[in-house]
Amino acid sequence: MKPAKSPWAQVGEYASLGFVLPATTVVGYAIGYWLDKTFGTTYLYMVFLLLGIVAGFVQIIRHANKKS
């Protein structure tokens, strides 16, 4: 049996979840924006923005399932 984490470790763990969704969204948008500029397209930013959002939710769900 694993020992219980300290309260500060738990706070840090849950606070990091607050950064996961915005970070993955921004990274997805940035990749799409760069690809749009590189290839002269106008839609890839939206595709990668959505992929970033999905990736953020997947990470949050994985964390929630690990805790339960």
pLDDT tens digit sequence for 31-64: 999 999 999 999 999 999 999 999 999 999 998 8
pLDDT at residue 15, as a whole number? 86
pTM of the model: 0.83
What count of other Cβ atoms lies within 10 Å of the Cβ of residue 14? Answer: 11
In a domain, 1, yes or no: no
In a domain, 11, yes or no: no
pLDDT at residue 20, as a whole number? 92
In a domain, 58, yes or no: yes
Domain carrying residue 37? 19-67
pLDDT at residue 49, as a whole number? 97
Q: Where are the alpha helices (DSSP H) in 1-68?
A: 7-39, 44-67
pLDDT of 17 above 90: no
In a domain, 28, yes or no: yes
Q: C-alpha angle with apex 28: 30 to 24, nearest 5 degrees?
A: 115
